[in-house]
Structure 1
């Protein structure tokens, strides 16, 4: 059997991401073979393409963390899925392809009323949001939650999950044009990250403090927002979009400047201030297969709304899709569809 993949012999430059045809083996006893129908894009894909994601292979890289599709084969030890089942899944890279073999623990059946595009937009962002809020943030009812990039795929789900706990949510966007698009998401306050951002944030807080800070920027606003955390407040770091560039390859001078001027936390002051800083990435969570699957079942019980699909590209437009994603001008999820 053969499949089509997007592959890089060496990570570092988007232009080296090539579409190739390669031989494809059958599944191992505990694996399911999926014919992929849709692929969801994430910041981790972009960073690994540029060679900036430590956990990603630097050679013979097939990017891609999440997908949806149809089961076309399965191993002898797989009883949970049948040929023809529609599924969504998360993988440790390798989803930029027409077919994939994956351990059964990283798949779940797609709800009947969900499209493949919606299925490819759910797992990574919902899992990131839930793990950040519930497992690390230990979110409690009626807390104040600040969500950076609230118009992004993860940000939307952070808000939706926080609302399940009746939290007051304050979301930030980098572009005022996104405020109108987020109006139906029940965010209590939406602020543009401009020169008056901190002033407006303090006005909203009205001498109250932030309980949970969901940080995906790691840029110039971290210090000021961190200083507004309450005692026992938690900053959960799950992204570093501030380090994303708009070019096909890394601008190492710009990255070096951002790296050496990145926010830093005095661990002794954490004791004095009774605050916490926590960070995580889904690759670590991927290594905990049973735990990851249990989290997915918890997420399903929340009965969250379907993901918001921002833009859809076809498989042959992979480069265009990635460039649009890295532009920072998207709302919701960017999806690549395989006809």
Structure 2
């Protein structure tokens, strides 16, 4: 039996319920590895889960966290079913870990099929910052979005963790990218990722459509072939209306619904829900356009896809991820609130 520290929440509903505990961790079970965690990657889904606004949130008490990186300490017995355990592992291996919750801990037992070798030149923090967001970008752009050379992609929240991966992957595909951001202080980062000023829109809800028209005109285009959207809300329709025939609007989040406080403001959320984007699906046929949505966590049971998907994502963008903020393990609640504020770039990482 190993002792670990973890951030556990007794039930979803408020970030203030998150508390650090010391608890026993049993030996790894069949097909599992015990990983000594050195860094934890934070995601918007973590905030929504703690607030009880995430459809996959566990009932009752749980340890949040969808990804981390660390060192394999011990291996459990092989699967009796004979099913492949994934990458061959040994104690001492440096790995990136995907987990359906449970990542906010100094050690965890993880299914070996969800462990990916950490690139030799990457730090643990970079490894913890990679899998969820890179796979989200790859799945939305390539698997669902079928982005092709010469096409035009609109990437919302382009300076965020998923957004930076999406910008790099779309450009590697041969597409032209227009990115949107919420604050102008994020412009230099996107310029470092290869976007010139007229390819970046600092979102203004009152004139967003005109902003998109100006950005399209600047690159000599009239429509988007793909919209990669983590915001929804009032920015959905102006973008969707500029989608080309055969265009794809891929939704993977709804940051517009992110509460600003430790608890959800249910009245405000109800008002936002009533005003959410709505349209007649028959118009998709008339305009020959698609709207698709996905949540990476619902693909968790498809472990067989992970090796090929991770390899494909790395092939499109082999650069280590950008880390915008680092916090200590004891500062994890503050790290979540910082992420919730929407002013960070790249990935927020907690280091153990």
TM-score (norm. length: structure 2)? 0.94
Query: Which residue number in structure 1 is paired with residue 56 of structure 2?
Result: 55
Query: Which residue number in structure 2 is paired with residue 316 of structure 1?
Result: 330
Q: Distance in 1 between matches of 2:315 and 2:200?
A: 28
Superposition pairs for residues 94-243 of structure 1, below 5 Å? Answer: 94-188=102-196, 189-194=199-204, 195-206=206-217, 208-243=222-257
1:336 to partner: Cα distance? 0.4
1:279 to partner: Cα distance? 0.4
1:105 to partner: Cα distance? 1.0
Structure 1 stretches (4+) deviating beyond 6 angstroms? none
Structure 2: 5+ residue runs without aligned partners? 79-84
What is the SS of the residue equivalent to 1:52?
coil
1:242 to partner: Cα distance? 0.6
Deviations 1:250-279 (A, max 9, x none): 111111111111111210100001000000
Query: Which residue number in structure 2 is paired with residue 293 of structure 1?
Result: 307
Q: Distance in 1 between matches of 2:63 and 2:53?
A: 15
Q: Distance in 2 between matches of 1:126 and 1:35?
A: 23
Q: Distance in 2 between matches of 1:110 and 1:184?
A: 25
Query: Which residue number in structure 1 is paired with residue 82 of structure 2?
Result: none
Q: Distance in 1 between matches of 2:137 and 2:30?
A: 32
Q: Distance in 2 between matches of 1:330 and 1:337?
A: 17
1:104 to partner: Cα distance? 1.0
1:10 to partner: Cα distance? 1.0
1:303 to partner: Cα distance? 4.5
What is the SS of the residue equivalent to 2:10?
strand
Query: Which residue number in structure 2 is paired with residue 64 of structure 1?
Result: 65
1:299 to partner: Cα distance? 1.6
1:112 to partner: Cα distance? 1.4
Q: Distance in 2 between matches of 1:75 and 1:16?
A: 33
For these two proteins, the number of residue pairs brought into alignment is 338
Structure 1: 5+ residue runs without aligned partners? none
Query: Which residue number in structure 1 is paired with residue 81 of structure 2?
Result: none
Q: Is the 8 A contact 2:168 2:317 kept in 1?
A: no
1:219 to partner: Cα distance? 1.0
Q: Distance in 2 between matches of 1:65 and 1:201?
A: 34
1:84 to partner: Cα distance? 0.6
What is the SS of the residue equivalent to 2:233?
coil
1:181 to partner: Cα distance? 2.5
1:187 to partner: Cα distance? 2.3
